[in-house]
Structure formats: structure tokens, C-alpha cells
């Protein structure tokens, strides 16, 4: 799933993601972050990976920062994304995070921002990337 997410992220124009990095991402986040998948009858429908670390502006606060949040296109439009967000919040809380930062991308469905807001998230910042 990470390999399907990556080309839509905009980061693929920075550098390709080696096939082995998807597995490495899973191992890293399972060890020091949060890695969740939604599976029904053996079919993966969604995944989330977040890195948990001290907040850069105050190391006494722990933040979980999204790396990947992906719902397979054929499973979008229902309640899966909202259920995943609730699971993300709970898993991050159990991991010691006090703050969760989620992102949208230019390729994100329009409903993503509204879902985040309905789930208690507030807009924090927008990133711009330039390849030198």
C-alpha cells in the first residue's frame, strides 16, 4: 500500500522510493511509532504509519506525525477513514503521544480536510517542497 500511496504524495518527484523502503517503513513505525492496517476477509483496505517523537518546539510534549494515511480507492467514501482516524488516535495515545499531526496532499480527496476537522483536528500549516 505504501508503494501505491507514494506516487500520489508529490514526494515521488524528489526521489523514487526503493521497494525495500516500504518494508523498512513498516519495521521502523512498528518499533518506534504506530502502524495500523484495516483488513476485511484477507483484503487490505487501509493503512496508517506515524512516527512518534518529542515535539520539536517543546520536548516535554510527544507528537505522532503521519507518514502515510491511505485508504484504497475502492474503499473510500464510507466510514473506513473515520474509523481509521479513531484507531490512529487511540494507538497514538497508547504510544504516549499527546498530539497527532495528520496531513493532506494535493491529491487527497476533498473530503479529507472535512473529516479531519470533524474528528477534532485543526489546520496547523501547509508545506511547500522545492527540489534543488
- Domains in the chain (CATH in brackets) are 2-118 (3.40.630.30)
59-67 average pLDDT score: 96
Long-range contacts of 59-62 (CB under 8 A, 24+ apart): 61/98, 61/99, 62/96, 62/97, 62/98, 62/99
pLDDT, tens digit, for every residue of 73-106? 999 988 999 999 999 999 999 999 999 999 998 8
Please say if the pLDDT value at position 30 is more than 80.
no
Please say if the pLDDT value at position 24 is more than 90.
no
Q: Which residue would you say has higher pLDDT here, 111 or 62?
A: 62
Question: How much is the pLDDT for 55?
Answer: 96
Question: How much is the pLDDT for 2?
Answer: 73
One DSSP character per residue, 54-117 reads EETTEEEEEEEEEEEEEE-GGGTTSSHHHHHHHHHHHHHHHTT-SEEE----TTS-THHHHHHH
Using CA atoms, how far apart are residues 5 and 18, in angstroms rounded to an integer?
13
C-alpha cell of 13? Answer: 518527484
Please say if the pLDDT value at position 109 is more than 90.
no
The answer to whether the beta carbons of residues 63 and 35 sit under 8 Å apart is no
- Global pTM value: 0.85
Amino acid at each position: 500500500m505504501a508503494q501505491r500511496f507514494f506516487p500520489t504524495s508529490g514526494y515521488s518527484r524528489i526521489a523514487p522510493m526503493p521497494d525495500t523502503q516500504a518494508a523498512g517503513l513498516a519495521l521502523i513505525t512498528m518499533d518506534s511509532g504506530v502502524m495500523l492496517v484495516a483488513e476485511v476477509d484477507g483484503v487490505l483496505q487501509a493503512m496508517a504509519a506515524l512516527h512518534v517523537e518529542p515535539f520539536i518546539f517543546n520536548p516535554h510534549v510527544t507528537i505522532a506525525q503521519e507518514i502515510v494515511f491511505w485508504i484504497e480507492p475502492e474503499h473510500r467514501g464510507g466510514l473506513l477513514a473515520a474509523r481509521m482516524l479513531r484507531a490512529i488516535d487511540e494507538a497514538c495515545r497508547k504510544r504516549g503521544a499527546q498530539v497527532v499531526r495528520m496531513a493532506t496532499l494535493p491529491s487527497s480527496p476533498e473530503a479529507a480536510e472535512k473529516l479531519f476537522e470533524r474528528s477534532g483536528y485543526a489546520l496547523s500549516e501547509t508545506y511547500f517542497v522545492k527540489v534543488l
